[in-house]
Amino acid sequence: ATPTAVMVATGIGANHGVLVKGGDALERAQNVNYVIFDKTGTLTQGKAVVTTAKIFSGMDLGDFLTLVASAEASSEHPLAKAVLDYAFHFHFFGKLPSSKDGIEQRKEEILSRWLLEVEDFAAVPGKGVQCLINEKKVLIGNRTLMSENGVSVPPEAESFLVDLEMNAKTGILVAYDRTFVGLMGITDPLKREAAVVVEGLKKMGVHPVMLTGDNWRTAQAVAKEVGIEDVRAEVMPAGKADVVRSLQKDGSIVAMVGDGINDSPALAAADVGMAIGGGTDIAIEAADYVLVRNNLEDVITAIDLSRKTFNRIR
Ligand code: ADP
Ligand code: MG
């Protein structure tokens, strides 16, 4: 393609909110064999909502939610935001249904007043969070986090969890003082266009892949809903780039679509990295494309634009 054609294509992309960083990236997109989608925040809306809180000990529901919200208040994870929201609504809207307005705005201030004091908070990437509350260890996260800390999950809780996961929900487990207390089920709906885009890519001869740190059962259920057969689940944040490299081994051209901090090494490793929507700055930096509208249709727009620009003129 002539420099003029590249310039024109770049401009057309920009008008659609498809920002491409240079002619090389624009050229590579035409030959993409795989598009890897991060699950949370990329295929899904990234607006996680708690659907269930189930206690498997004597703890009172209000105390349980206070404990969990206190620990998650220091986390940046979308799951943490869902938990805080749920606890907040349970404690306040339950009691004050008529005075919603001012309260939603004052959420942080109100939360900070009743949350418990937390010490030694640490995020455990790909697994959850841990901290001390009342000098007792609090653990919130997946099965691995529990087992690595010697917390056993009772069979009735395990089967409740399996049930949630088969319904595409993520379960988070809660332990206090090394004893399992209860769990929460969280749902994060798919983006409306997700299934259509997956179908469209297949028609273009591109192989879609879903990549996630979430557990296998939830991942499979979500993948089935969106029409993706190739799933890579329970991948630790550091392992995402390895998945990209393993697909590149036979010379395949790999695009990666993601939004989070966790995704930036994979975005950088991909032949075509696409940061979506209000992705984190570090993701935007690592990417070749920024899809500013946060709409997955722009993945197709980007590939189309490249094909039209280069195929025609070659
Ligand atoms: P994803 O690839 O979907 O963004 P992550 O690697 O961030 O997933 O997390 C993987 C899993 O670790 C989550 O599905 C959850 O079970 C657990 N986890 C991570 N962060 C938290 C948190 N703040 N609270 C509870 N669980 C968490
Ligand atoms: Mg994500």
DSSP label of 17: T
38 belongs to the catalytic site: yes
- Residue 98 clears pLDDT 80, i.e. is over it: no
Strands across the sheet with 49-55, in order? 49-55, 179-187, 170-176, 136-141, 128-133, 118-124
Q: Do 73 and 33 reside in the same domain of the chain? A: no
Which of the listed residues 172, 187, 202 is the one where a domain comes to its end?
187
Dist. CA 82 → ligand 1 center (Å): 12
Query: Do 179 and 214 fall into the same domain?
Result: no
b/e code 286-306 from CB counts within 10 Å (16+ = b):
bbbbbbbebbbbbbbbbbbbb
- Residue the block writes with tokens 């309260």: 103
152 and 105 assigned to the same domain: yes
- Cα–Cα distance measured from residue 212 to residue 126, given in angstroms and rounded to the nearest whole number: 9
Kindly state whether residues 225 and 169 are assigned to the same domain.
no
Give the DSSP letter of residue 92: I
One domain for residues 175 and 206: no
Q: Please choose, from the candidates 30, 7, 3, the residue with its C-alpha nearest in 3D space to the C-alpha of residue 305.
A: 30
Q: Residue 44: CB within 6 Å of ligand 1?
A: no
**Tell me: the pLDDT tens digits for 289-313?**
999 999 999 999 999 999 999 875 4
Residue ranges with CB less than 5 Å from ion ligand 2: 38, 40-41, 260
Whether the CB-CB separation of 56 and 180 falls below 8 Å is answered with yes
Kindly identify the ligand whose nearest atom is closest to the C-alpha of 264: 2
Residues near 252 by beta carbon (within 8 Å), at least 6 away in sequence:
33, 34
pLDDT, tens digit, 9 for 90 and up, residues 223-244: 999 999 999 999 998 899 999 9
Total domains present in the chain:
2
Length of the chain: 314
Mutate to test the pocket of ligand 1, among 142, 170, 187 (most ligand atoms within 8 A of CB): 142
Site to probe by mutation for ligand 1, drawn from 36, 77, 169 as the one with most ligand atoms within 8 Å of Cβ, is 77
Does residue 97 or residue 286 have the better pLDDT? 286
With cut-offs at 50, 70 and 90, classify the pLDDT of residue 101.
low
- Whether complex ipTM tops 0.85: yes
Identify whether residues 249 and 204 lie together within a single domain: yes
CATH of the domain at 283: 3.40.50.1000
**Which of 5-14, 38-47, 92-101 shows the lowest per-residue confidence on average (mean pLDDT)?**
92-101
Decide which of 159, 187, 215 is a domain's last residue.
Answer: 187
Last residue of a domain, one of 157, 187, 217: 187
The pLDDT-based confidence of 103 (bands split at 50, 70, 90) is low
Q: Which domain holds residue 119?
A: 49-187
* pTM (2 d.p.): 0.89
Residue 71: its H or E element = helix 61-72
Same domain as 223, residue 276: yes
Cβ atoms of residues 195 and 227 within 8 Å: yes
Judgement on whether residues 223 and 292 belong to the same structural domain of the protein: yes
Using pLDDT thresholds of 50, 70 and 90, give the confidence band for residue 270: very high
Residue 64's domain is classified under what CATH number?
3.40.1110.10
CB 55 within 8 A of CB 64: yes
Does 175 share its domain with 67? yes
Q: How far is the CA of 279 from the centre of ligand 2 (A)?
A: 9
- Same domain? For 204 and 300 the reply is yes
256 pLDDT more than 60: yes
Are residues 266 and 305 both part of a single domain?
A: yes
- In this structure, the answer to whether residues 38 and 85 fall within a common structural domain is no
Of 244 and 259, the one with more pLDDT: 244
Instruction: Identify the CA nearest to 84 among candidates 96, 93, 97, 75.
Output: 75
